[in-house]
Amino acid sequence: MAAPEIGLFIDGKWTTPPGAARFTTRNPTNGEVVGSFVAGTAQDANAAVTAAYKAFPQWKATPPPARGEILLRVAQELKERKESIGRIVTQEMGKVIAEGRGDVQEAIDFVEYMAGEGRRLFGETVPSELRSKFCLTVRQPKGVVVCITPWNFPTAIPNWKIAAALICGNTVVFKPASTTAMCAVEVVRAYEAAGLPPGVLNLVTGSGGAVGNPLIDDPRVRAVSFTGGVDTGRSVNVRGAQDMKAVHLELGGKNPMIVMDDANLPLALEGLLFGAFGTAGQRCTATSRLILHEKVYDEFLGMLDQRVAGLRLGDPLDPATDVGPVASADQEKKILDYIAIGRGEAKLRTGGNKLTGGAYDKGYFIAPTVFETAHGTRISKEEIFGPVLSVIKVPNYQEAVRVANDVDYGLSSSIYTRDVNLAFRAMDDLECGITYVNAPTIGAEVQLPFGGTKKTGTGGREAGSVAVEEFTEIKTVFVDFSNRLQKAQIDTTAS
């Protein structure tokens, strides 16, 4: 079957610019083509911003609860298509089907949550220092917003950004990762089917250089929300700064799980397997470091060996599969390069190879890999974004926390302990945006803020009710009903 040829979505219409170049996405399990997409240009980026700019005044004037009704319809559309979109997620980037569905569910949850924000969008009322004067804040949209999204949560993350931007009254140009362009198309179709007015959401597929940069540089764009790698994030930030744009960055992680000597080890083991090898380790929140107390070191690693050996790698559409392929040839190369580095600086305990033979030859399958390492090696500090776990032995809680914090990132973290005092101390001590107690580093829920410290990002948090901070300007309003000139800081004792 020929791959469907998809256009750009600009001003409410799917269009293919004359003479457009195309790129395809491929299933990382077997190499089959999933779809063919327009390799957008600066001209396409310009057309999309023009449409979003034109649509902005009307959308801003639409009452937020009415915007919320459209979002509820988007959520409904996504619910109806959950199974088919979940399968596309799995076919396009390789996460196992339960997680493909989970990706879409996370999108649904957030869009629904943001619909309710249409009846909140709270401001503040604050007392005045003067009599007969009223002070308040209101939230206003920023204008045209650009959302640039990654392939690892190809429906959830776009919706975290798009739904939050839209409920606040912004219009959006969406530039998805090229690896998962079909997932992006499915997201946009849900908004289209829900009756979003033309121009309010526009999709331009294509590379960061050809489409992303012109979008960020366009003076009509007021904010950029980016999730992806640190190097690209830095360049997005620098470009955005030229024009004082609000830039929100959600970047890498090197997330630790601390397992103390009093932990429930079978529980910690289940959490570790899910955190380290779920989504083939390709989550920003993946558990990439196990910081293990020396008293339970041998016992716990023995338990881990056994379970890792039992993980089933294969077709991610098969519900019996535990770990699917990694998302692309680029991903495979980067992960195998890190494994080679690890072999030189640490002790390989399990895995460490690409799977070959039979059906594996058609895809990008990497064996779940465990290294024992000292803290400070490259594999213990750099983000690998694959099924590779570094295990670090520590003598006590203080050292566990020191190791946990001594990396450039600060997204997620976890501690397994039965000591309630230690759990609360860890909540305070771990330098990052998210801490789990007796649960793995993955699995954030949309009604709570998501994001991190240090090189993980800047510009506030996504998700939760604070998601609206990223997409609104606060306007402070003073209403003086005294009928005379009152001077703040000067007339403060006036009666």
Query: Which residues bind to ligand UN1, rule: CB under 6 A?
Result: 106, 152-153, 283-285, 442-444
**Which DSSP helix (H) or strand (E) runs through 437?**
strand 434-437
For the bound state, the minimum distance from the C-beta of residue 238 to ligand UN1, rounded and expressed in Å, comes to 22
> Which residue among the candidates 250, 332, 383, 470 is catalytic per the annotation?
250
Q: Which is nearer to ligand UN1, 284 or 346 (CB)?
A: 284
State the Cα–Cα distance between residues 352 and 63, nearest whole angstrom: 55
Backbone angles phi, psi at 175, to 5 degrees: -120, 100
| Nearest in space to 59 (alpha carbons), one of 118, 107, 15, 137 | 118
State the Cα–Cα distance between residues 321 and 323, nearest whole angstrom: 6
For the bound state, the minimum distance from the C-beta of residue 222 to ligand UN1, rounded and expressed in Å, comes to 24
382 is catalytic: no
Q: Are the CB atoms for 322 and 277 separated by under 8 Å?
A: yes
DSSP code, position 199: T
For the bound state, the minimum distance from the C-beta of residue 411 to ligand UN1, rounded and expressed in Å, comes to 8
For the bound state, the minimum distance from the C-beta of residue 357 to ligand UN1, rounded and expressed in Å, comes to 31
Q: Are the CB atoms for 223 and 170 separated by under 8 Å?
A: yes
284 is catalytic: yes
> Which residue among the candidates 147, 168, 183, 284 is catalytic per the annotation?
284
Backbone angles phi, psi at 281, to 5 degrees: 75, 10
Q: Which is nearer to ligand UN1, 102 or 363 (CB)?
A: 102
Q: Which is nearer to ligand UN1, 106 or 186 (CB)?
A: 106
For the bound state, the minimum distance from the C-beta of residue 45 to ligand UN1, rounded and expressed in Å, comes to 24
What tokens does 312 get? 């089933």
State the Cα–Cα distance between residues 207 and 229, nearest whole angstrom: 15
Q: Which is nearer to ligand UN1, 135 or 466 (CB)?
A: 466
Q: Which is nearer to ligand UN1, 352 or 460 (CB)?
A: 460
For the bound state, the minimum distance from the C-beta of residue 384 to ligand UN1, rounded and expressed in Å, comes to 14
For the bound state, the minimum distance from the C-beta of residue 375 to ligand UN1, rounded and expressed in Å, comes to 24
Dihedral sign for Cα 265, 267, 270, 275, please.
negative
Residue type, 36: S
State the Cα–Cα distance between residues 300 and 263, nearest whole angstrom: 10
State the Cα–Cα distance between residues 183 and 90, nearest whole angstrom: 10
Which residue minimizes CB distance to ligand UN1? 444
Q: Which is nearer to ligand UN1, 106 or 192 (CB)?
A: 106
Residue 100 half-sphere exposure toward CB, CA atoms < 13 A: 29
Q: Which is nearer to ligand UN1, 198 or 443 (CB)?
A: 443
Q: Are the CB atoms for 42 and 215 separated by under 8 Å?
A: no
C-alpha R_g of the chain: 24
DSSP 136-172: EEEEEE-SEEEEEE-SSSTTHHHHHHHHHHHHTT-EE
Q: Which residues are catalytic?
A: 250, 284
